[in-house]
Amino acid sequence: MSLNTFESQAAPRPLLFDPAKLNGLSERLIRSHWENNYGGSVKALAVVKKRLAEALADKDLPPYIYNDLKREHLLRTGSVVFHEYYFDNLGGDGKAGATERKVIADAFGSFDLWETEFRRIGAGLGGGSGWVVLGLNTHTGQLENYWLADHAHGPAATQPILVMDMYEHSYQMDFGAAAAKYIDAFFANLQWDVVAKRLEAATRQETK
């Protein structure tokens, strides 16, 4: 564990791909998303952590006021972490390998059924906010798709495998309200090598 509880990362994590070369997602959209929304949460999280350390030392602060900051802590942590998973699983050619196709198919009944559910959750979040997460629940050992209403939601004890941002800042600039077109573009740019590595790491840990 490199960082103390009340510290946070000094800078946003760079993109692993060239944002000018995605297929159907504009450089302007990706850069704005990375700089303003993800980058903004990295900065906000640092502010929140500093304020938490101060607030914790204030013995007269009512606990429910302290928890207002803890909510922001949870929200910003989710924003930073899910955004890093999201950008990392972009930049590929959208083609899933045989291994991950098989693992997903074994869990969901078929690979298509997985994709159908993942896309449907995304479609239902159109016009609002939230995330779609394929995750391995390390407690139940199940691979599942989760609907999250905002950065503060999250499945218990779960390692994210594939993450799609459905906040409107992920697509409005390119697609307006046409969330379905964004979901198509997201799938076309999926970096499955990263997904495969996450799946392998999570499965290894889960089976121990």
User: Alpha-carbon torsion 15, 13, 150, 103, what sign?
Assistant: positive
Residues 67-106 that bind a second copy (CB under 8 A): 67-74, 77-78, 80-82, 84-85, 106
Among 15, 46, 173, 188, binds a second copy (CB under 8 A): 173
Residue type, 117: E
Q: Is 125 exposed, middle or buried (0-12, 13-18, 19+ CB in 10 A)?
A: buried
Q: How far is the CB of 112 from a second copy (least distance, A)?
A: 11
71 vs 9: CA distance, rounded Å? 19
Q: What are phi and psi of 207, to 5 degrees?
A: -85, -5
Would you say 69 or 188 has its CB closer to a second copy?
Answer: 69
Size of the site for a second copy (CB under 8 A): 94
Q: How far is the CB of 180 from a second copy (least distance, A)?
A: 10
Residues 153-172 that bind a second copy (CB under 8 A): 153-160, 167-169, 172
Among 17, 46, 51, 197, binds a second copy (CB under 8 A): 51
Tell me: does residue 149 bind a second copy (CB under 8 A).
yes
**Assigned token pair, 189:** 């740019």
Q: How far is the CB of 177 from a second copy (least distance, A)?
A: 4
Q: How far is the CB of 36 from a second copy (least distance, A)?
A: 4
Would you say 93 or 102 has its CB closer to a second copy?
Answer: 102
151 vs 161: CA distance, rounded Å? 16
3-state secondary structure 74-134: HHHHHHHHHHHHHHHCECCCCCCCHHHHHHHHHHHCCHHHHHHHHHHHHHHHCCCCCEEEE
Residues 11-50 that bind a second copy (CB under 8 A): 28, 32, 36-37, 40, 44, 47-48
Pick the piece of the chain touching a second copy (CB under 8 A) from 19-27, 91-99, 121-129, 188-196. Answer: 121-129
Tell me: does residue 197 bind a second copy (CB under 8 A).
no
Q: How far is the CB of 93 from a second copy (least distance, A)?
A: 25
Which residues does residue 90 pair with via DSSP β-bridges, in sequence order? 190
Contacts of residue 204, defined as CB under 8 A and 6 or more positions apart, other chains included, come to: none
Tell me: does residue 194 bind a second copy (CB under 8 A).
no
